Amino acid sequence: MALRELKVCLLGDTGVGKSSIVWRFVEDSFDPNINPTIGASFMTKTVQYQNELHKFLIWDTAGQERFRALAPMYYRGSAAAIIVYDITKEETFSTLKNWVKELRQHGPPNIVVAIAGNKCDLNDVREVMEKDAKDYADSIHAIFVETSAKNAININELFIEISRRIPSTDTNPASSGKGFKLRRQPSVTKRSCC
């Protein structure tokens, strides 16, 4: 069976649940007292998709301001970006829109964008309407799901949808696994790290 490596990065405000989504996907576990990610964290998981094996190389980035400038290092060469917001916090949705803008300007041209409205188990304190987010996602042709890492809702579905959207190997060699090597991407601007 053919093995494809897919580089995926998670972006979004601090505390929206990026790491929790990754943990649920990779380890199928959840820690309510998870500490904020420092820098970025790398994990992999291989899943079968149709007649291929998809090895997800997942870069879980830190949402804090001081790591902001590191993000290009991770979305460069990514096949997909999952941008996460917290449905109980309006401002995390505005941050998400900024990430979309940045990806459109500086990200790889064919990057698959997925929008995940996390913490959908906290429906009673919801601040972002599902319809608003869905409309926005449609307007930018992004995948949209509401997820709950805590209750394992839509986490696997999110990654399956990414597998589905990624162009197959023969039509787009650019996203075929080799792209994950950070070195291959010439850095355009000399950014400082933070």
Partner 1 sequence: MAADVHKKKSWEVSNGSLVPGDGQHTERSESPTPGLAQGTEPGAGQEGAMFVHTRSYEDLTSPEDGAAAVRSPEERRGEPAEQSSMEQISKDFSELSTQLTGMALDLDEEMRAGKEGKLEPSPQTTRRDSVLSGKEEEDVTMDAWRLHRKHVFVLSEAGKPVYSRYGSEEALSSTMGVMMALVSFLEAEKNAIRSIHADGYKVVFVRRSPLVLVAVARTRQSEQEIAHELLYIYYQILSLLTWTQLNHIFQQKQNYDLRRLLAGSERITDNLLDLMAHDPSFLMGAVRCLPLAASVRDAVSSSLQQAKAKSLVFSILLSGNQLVSLVRKKDQFLHPIDLHLLFNLISSSSSFREGEAWTPICLPKFNSSGFFHAHISYLEQEMDLCLLLVSTDREDFFTVSDCKRRFQERLRRRGVQHALHEALRTPFYSVAQVGIPDLRHFIYKSKSSGLFTSPEIEAPYVQEEEKERLLGLYQYLHSRAHNSSRPLKNIYFTGPRENLLAWVTNAFELYVCYSPLGTKAGAINAVNKLMKWIRKEEDRLFILTPQTY
Query: Which of 3, 129, 174, 182 is close enough to bind partner 1 by CB under 8 A?
Result: 182
Q: Tell the smallest beta-carbon distance from residue 9 to partner 1 (Å).
A: 12
Contacting residues for 139 by C-beta, under 8 A, at least 6 apart: none
Do 118 and 21 touch, CB atoms closer than 8 A? Answer: yes
Do 176 and 188 touch, CB atoms closer than 8 A? Answer: no
What's the burial of 63, exposed, middle or buried (CB within 10 Å: 0-12/13-18/19+)? buried
Query: Which of 1, 38, 125, 188 is close enough to bind partner 1 by CB under 8 A?
Result: 38
14: contact with partner 1 by CB under 8 A: yes
Query: Which of 3, 28, 48, 65 is close enough to bind partner 1 by CB under 8 A?
Result: 65
62: contact with partner 1 by CB under 8 A: yes
Of 65-73, 105-113, 127-135, 157-165, which part binds partner 1 (CB under 8 A)? Answer: 65-73
Joined together, the tokens standing for residue 189 give 């601007």
- Give 70 or 140: the residue with its C-beta nearer to partner 1: 70
> 19's torsion region: left (phi>0), alpha (psi -120 to 50) or beta?
alpha
Q: Tell the smallest beta-carbon distance from residue 135 to partner 1 (Å).
A: 27
**CA 173 to chain CA mean position, Å:** 21
C-alpha–C-alpha distance, residues 183 and 168, integer Å: 24
35: contact with partner 1 by CB under 8 A: yes
Do 146 and 117 touch, CB atoms closer than 8 A? Answer: yes
Query: Which of 30, 55, 64, 136 is close enough to bind partner 1 by CB under 8 A?
Result: 64
Question: Binding residues for partner 1, per CB under 8 A?
Answer: 14-15, 19, 22-23, 26-27, 31, 33-43, 60, 62, 64-67, 70, 73, 181-183, 187, 190, 192-194
